[in-house]
């Protein structure tokens, strides 16, 4: 799409913007990530897991929540690709995914609430 096809020409070259807008699935991916973090409990759990690998029982204690409730949030965060898990015997441990998206969301959370990582 060229800016000449727009109803008004304000002197901007909008071809780059128009081509980015055409990638609807990219915007849908971002929307899904933000949907997962639209719940403050999930943000808090995600933030914990950005700093340590932890089991459901300890996350439950930190959050003062039941294990089933925490497990529900962990499932949603994992399906969004924000956290990963590993099994050690009967115990499952969770941590933030080592992806650019997870890292950027971690930084964004800390920027917005003006909190620093433990150890910094």
pLDDT at residue 117, as a whole number: 64
Largest CA distance in the chain: 64
Structure tokens at 72: 């529900």
pLDDT at residue 109, as a whole number: 86
Which domains does the chain show, CATH number per domain?
24-113 (1.10.10.10)
pLDDT at residue 38, as a whole number: 85
Q: What is the mean pLDDT of each run of 10 residues along the chain (120 residues)?
A: 61 76 80 82 94 95 96 94 95 96 88 70
Helices (H), 11-115: 15-21, 24-36, 40-51, 56-63, 67-79, 100-113
């Amino acid at each position: 799409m060229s800016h000449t096809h727009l109803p008004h020409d304000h002197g901007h070259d909008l071809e780059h913007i128009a081509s980015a807008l055409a990638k609807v699935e990219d915007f849908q991916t971002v929307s899904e990530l933000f949907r997962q973090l639209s719940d403050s409990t999930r943000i808090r759990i995600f933030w914990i897991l950005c700093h340590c690998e932890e089991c459901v029982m300890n996350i439950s204690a930190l959050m003062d929540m039941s294990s089933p409730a925490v497990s529900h949030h962990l499932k949603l965060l994992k399906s969004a690709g924000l956290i990963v898990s590993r099994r050690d015997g009967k115990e499952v441990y969770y941590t933030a995914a080592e992806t650019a998206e997870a890292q950027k969301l971690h930084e964004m959370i800390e920027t917005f609430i003006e909190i620093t990582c433990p150890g910094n």
